[in-house]
Amino acid sequence: MNSLIKIIIIIFLTLCLIVFATLFFLKDDDVTIEYDSFPVGSPNIQREQGGIIPTTAGFDPKYVQPFNTLLSEQPSYIFSSVLASSYMDVYGIFPCRIGEEETNVLMMNAKSGLDMNGNVDRKTMETFKAWEPYVFSDIGHFIFPSRTVPDSPGLVAFRNVGSDGYKSGQVTFSGGVEGYIYTGWRLNFSFYASSLECLENAMDLVYTYD
């Protein structure tokens, strides 16, 4: 009987050790989050009321048209690096009207592991940051569907806005009309919008912190 008890105790201690070791190593590893579905379940906002309108475009890999196939021209080298760092079958184009103009919020999903603080890895962040001056020429027509982006637009100089990590940069459309592009991150989602309100509304629609 004593031998049986010893065996049971040894087995129990061994299992405890395995569980402890597993939890320890998982804690040290980067946390990679893959989303099978997105929490885009808010009720539709009537277009005449303005604000964000939820969309399912880009959220179903079985049916979605890959984002790179929506491009009107061959991407530049630096844009190609960003596309290679993003999931082509998981993106979002959210209509957003502030005032009279219809615009969109473009969301890209970076292929990136997240650390314990929910931050995207440095290499991916540097890739997106290096691309920032060219966002108007590469994705401006997605954000401003009713405007004409010049054939040779100037580079965008982004500046920090507030304390939430958002940035804004001034752009000039054909005809001299000026506007702004706002950008920011929520986990491994990178957003680009025409206004701070559209940016924050889209972020809250896709993913809201607990």
How do the domains of the chain map onto residue ranges? 1-30, 34-206
Tens of pLDDT along the chain (210 residues) come to 556 555 555 554 554 545 444 444 433 333 333 333 332 222 333 333 334 444 544 555 566 678 888 888 889 899 999 999 998 888 888 888 766 778 889 999 999 887 777 788 889 999 999 999 999 999 999 999 888 888 888 899 999 987 788 999 999 998 888 889 999 998 889 999 998 888 988 888 877 543
Q: Coil, strand, or helix at residue 121? A: coil
Please list, in sequence order, all residues whose beta carbon lies within 8 angstroms of the beta carbon of residue 59, skipping any fewer than 6 positions away: 37, 38, 40, 90, 92
Q: What is the DSSP string of 135-196?
A: HHHHHHHHH-TTS---SSPPPP--EEETTTTEEEEEEE-TTS-EEEEEEEEETTEEEEESSH
Distance CA 92, CA 110 (A): 12
Please list, in sequence order, all residues whose beta carbon lies within 8 angstroms of the beta carbon of residue 65, skipping any fewer than 6 positions away: none
Q: Please tell me what DSSP assigns to residue 37.
A: S
pLDDT of residue 160: 92
Please list, in sequence order, all residues whose beta carbon lies within 8 angstroms of the beta carbon of residue 201, skipping any fewer than 6 positions away: 51, 52, 96, 105
- Please give the backbone phi and psi of residue 19, each rounded to the nearest 5 degrees, phi first: -60, -45
Angle (CA) 144-147-152 rounded to 5° is 95
